[in-house]
Amino acid sequence: MGWTQDRLAKIKEWEKECKWENFVDENLINDIIEKTQNPSKEKVLAVIKKAKSNANTGKMLSLEDTAILLNNTDKELDEEIFKAATYIKKEIYGDRIVLFSPFYIASPCVNDCKYCGFRASNSSLSKKILKFDEIRSEVEALLDSGQKRLIAVYGEHPKSDYEFIAKSVREIYSIKKDKSEIRRVNINAAPMFEDEYKVIKNEGIGTYQVFQETYHRKTYESVHPQNTLKGQYNWRLFSLHRGLNAGLEDVALGVLIGLYDHRFEILAMLSHAYSLEKYFGISAHTMSFPRIKATSNSQKFNPYIISDEEFLKVIAIIRLMCPFTGTILTAREEPEFRDIALKKCGISQTDAGTNIGIGGYSQTKVKNDLTNQQFKIGDNRSIDEYILSIIKDGRLPSFCTSCYREGRTGENFMPLAKNATIKYLCIPNGILTFKEYIRDYASDEVKDIGENVIIPKYLGILKENLPKVAQKVEAMLKDIENGGKDAHI
Ligand code: SAM
Ligand code: SF4
């Protein structure tokens, strides 16, 4: 048997023995969506109040409460949802935005997902796996731009299997440029068996992301051919249960917005978070909500595409629903949309300086060449341009990787987010990593606003709340001025 057939057979065996309970109750979700139609103003306000009070209790909203928000059509109340999202995010993480860059390493894929440029049947895309010297050039280019955090992305293929992923992560961590290095590599790749996750974990990965794409079984089957690995719904549904069982510490959920009714998808993603809590005592580290974008040879998914206005609301509702979970908005979206979403929706992480072409950071430099990348990118700003827009709005850009390196992951991280004390680590580490960026990479404008407005502003917040930590950070800032690297607490 070939690699794919052999793996498919093993997956089907696994599915028969799956010990976890299905957590996507389609009838229940549909009933809840139905019975919460046109919620009254009082009901919506009561849920918003509850969400705010959850900011430091570690509780998530119920499916019903979340459906009430998703079904709200009163524009005035939308504004209350945005205010609450901003409040909750600030209360838990402070006003910092963690930045990362996606790093596309391998595009060949044995699957045939209808929405994806990497799909096996798409002959208009040239498929490529980076060699190790090319990985090195890419990482050096990323380091030259000031980046310290990556999400490495792979298609599912025998040549980019778990052993290749493990080796490529080891290679990334080994690369030094001007004494700088990548400090955290998250992964976005296909679901694995537990022994495979263990091999990858040994390389010191950060978060493992598997997006369910759609939790709606019929839609799932219609966009993922049944004879492919990706076609196996349950295998994917429990991929992160397997990961946590194998010892991964941080896992991330996601839905591809545009395949099915977004209200169903968000409620199912919440059910997923509850299931992880139930079995492992920790929820998702982050949630992603990519909207479908054009690919080479694109197919259309019109029925469930949502407007910018609706999408902003959905992102804010995710913050209210799972207050302590990181939310990620990517450069799939246009700059104007991203800037508004950062202001209003309580987002905690975004990519910056994004180029998803294979070899895009060092070799091609051509952006949005759909014959060499998975889908179209909307925000092509450089890291420095992006940081400038963040700091002009008074927010703190952060390249922090401290929790990961200090062992504050999984069950050691969650309580700090759930009781809203993590901000007292996020803010100091944001200040320190931004200072290092300013010293080594910033344009004059970023340097000016950073040194004179942003760092004093956030140091001031620390002085007011944690004077001893503020003193320590001031000393560390001096050390960075004198050439110190990688300061964190
Ligand atoms: N092959 C791995 C898998 O399927 O899990 C990695 C996934 S892919 C490289 C990363 C994610 O991109 C997918 O999970 C999907 O949510 C998203 N994606 C795929 N096609 C897309 C499109 N046309 N527009 C926006 N996002 C897309
Ligand atoms: Fe392959 Fe993932 Fe694209 Fe599907 S979404 S074709 S599995 S890379």
Q: Residue holding tokens 């209210």?
A: 320
As a whole number of angstroms, the distance between CA 189 and CA 156 comes to: 7
As a whole number of angstroms, the distance between CA 172 and CA 148 comes to: 11
DSSP letter, residue 178: T
pLDDT, tens digit, 9 for 90 and up, residues 347-375: 999 999 999 999 999 987 788 899 999 99
As a whole number of angstroms, the distance between CA 388 and CA 430 comes to: 15
**Which of 188, 192, 334 is the best mutation target for the ligand 1 pocket, counting ligand atoms within 8 Å of the beta carbon and taking the most?**
188
Picking from 268, 202, 205, the residue whose alpha carbon sits closest to that of residue 67 is 268
Q: What is the pLDDT of residue 338?
A: 98
pLDDT, tens digit, 9 for 90 and up, residues 435-485: 999 999 999 999 999 999 999 999 999 999 989 999 999 999 999 999 988
Q: Please tell me the number of the ligand nearest to residue 377's CA.
A: 1
pLDDT, tens digit, 9 for 90 and up, residues 340-349: 999 999 999 9
User: Does residue 293 have its Cβ closer than 6 Å to ligand 1?
Assistant: yes
**Taking residues 32-53, what's their average pLDDT?**
98
Q: What is the pLDDT of residue 402?
A: 77
Reported confidence tier of residue 1, pLDDT bands at 50, 70, 90: low
Computed over every residue of the chain, the mean pLDDT equals 95
140: pLDDT strictly greater than 70: yes
Reported confidence tier of residue 21, pLDDT bands at 50, 70, 90: very high
**Which residue type is seen at 189?**
A
Find the 107 Cα to ligand 1 centroid distance in Å: 11
User: Does residue 229 have its Cβ closer than 6 Å to ligand 1?
Assistant: no
**Which residue type is seen at 158?**
P
Picking from 328, 455, 434, the residue whose alpha carbon sits closest to that of residue 383 is 434
Q: What is the pLDDT of residue 298?
A: 79
As a whole number of angstroms, the distance between CA 303 and CA 485 comes to: 50
**Taking residues 214-242, what's their average pLDDT?**
97
| CA 407 distance to own-chain centroid | 20
Looking at ligand 1, which atom is closest to the CA of residue 288?
16
Which residues, at least 6 apart from 411, have a Cβ–Cβ distance to it below 8 Å? 249, 281, 282
Reported confidence tier of residue 313, pLDDT bands at 50, 70, 90: very high
Percentage above 70 pLDDT, the chain = 99
Picking from 155, 175, 174, the residue whose alpha carbon sits closest to that of residue 165 is 155
Phi–psi pair at 487, nearest 5 degrees:
-75, 130
